[in-house]
Amino acid sequence: MRMLLMGPPGAGKGTQAKVLAERLNIPAVSTGDIFRANVKDETPLGLEAKRYMDAGDYVPDEVTNAMVRDRLSEADAGDGFLLDGYPRTLAQVGTLDDILAEHGHKLDAVVALIADTDVLVARMLKRAHVEGRSDDSEEVVRHRQDVYTAETKPLLRVYAQRGLLVEVDGVGEIDEVSERVLAALKTVTE
């Protein structure tokens, strides 16, 4: 299974990615997690990414694409993966297509978690207190929703046109949403 998990910031992608990857026995590859680990370790990549992340902007495509290319060529991603938070721009869609083609692979499914923006903003502000993320101030939270709407939401159409998109209601208990995703996956992969 090679799949993407998409949806606006705060829709629960990270949580679902971990649960689903475990259930499907594939690695979850989260670009946000990889960036955050690099920021924490103060690597050159982390120092570059941090200023964009703190402002709620996307890290430049060249940087993000190079990182994903490296990650997907690791052995554990050879038989499948769940990408969480990538691609987020049309340029990234093109790069992912290239990476997959180079390996003779293709995507099986794109799952979009759907949730109301106001619910999401409230959720993210609550999470700010729990996780202490530096990109969770109210202004940045709202900006991230706007960036998603402008840059990433249009990608859903692209994947819908390819017949890969399944939309899943992202509001509910963690297990409930996971079951919805697993049921929806059967409809596109069968």
Q: Which positions make up the binding site? A: 10-15, 31, 36, 57-59, 85-88, 92, 127, 133, 144, 172
Q: How far is the CB of 186 from ligand AMP (least distance, A)?
A: 26
Q: Annotated active-site positions, please?
A: 13, 88, 127, 133, 144
CA dist 170 and 116 (Å) reads 9
Residue nearest to ligand AMP (CB): 32
CB-facing half-sphere around the CA of 44: CA atoms within 13 A: 2
CA dist 14 and 28 (Å) reads 9
Strands 165-169 and 81-84: unpaired
Both tokens assigned to 24? 């499907």
Query: Is residue 8 at the binding interface for ligand AMP, with CB under 6 A as the rule?
Result: no
Query: Is residue 145 at the binding interface for ligand AMP, with CB under 6 A as the rule?
Result: no
**Residue pair 24/80 in contact by the 8 Å Cβ criterion:** yes
Which residues, 12 to 41, sit near ligand AMP by CB under 6 A? 31-32, 35
- Counting beta carbons within 10 angstroms of the beta carbon of residue 40, is it exposed (0 to 12), middle (13 to 18) or buried (19 or more)? exposed
* Segment near ligand AMP (CB under 6 A); pick from 18-26, 52-60, 111-119, 159-167: 52-60
Q: How far is the CB of 59 from ligand AMP (least distance, A)?
A: 4
Instruction: Give residues with Cβ within 8 angstroms of 183, minimum separation 6.
Output: none
* Segment near ligand AMP (CB under 6 A); pick from 80-88, 101-109, 156-164, 165-173: 80-88
Query: Is residue 65 at the binding interface for ligand AMP, with CB under 6 A as the rule?
Result: no
Count residues binding ligand AMP (CB under 6 A): 17
Query: Is residue 53 at the binding interface for ligand AMP, with CB under 6 A as the rule?
Result: yes
Per DSSP, 2 falls in state E
Which segments are annotated as binding site for ATP?
A: 10-15, 127, 172
What are the two backbone dihedrals, phi and then psi, of residue 140, each rounded to the nearest 5 degrees? Answer: -70, -40
Q: Rule CB under 6 A: which residues touch ligand AMP?
A: 9, 31-32, 35, 52-53, 56-59, 64, 85-86, 88, 92, 135, 144
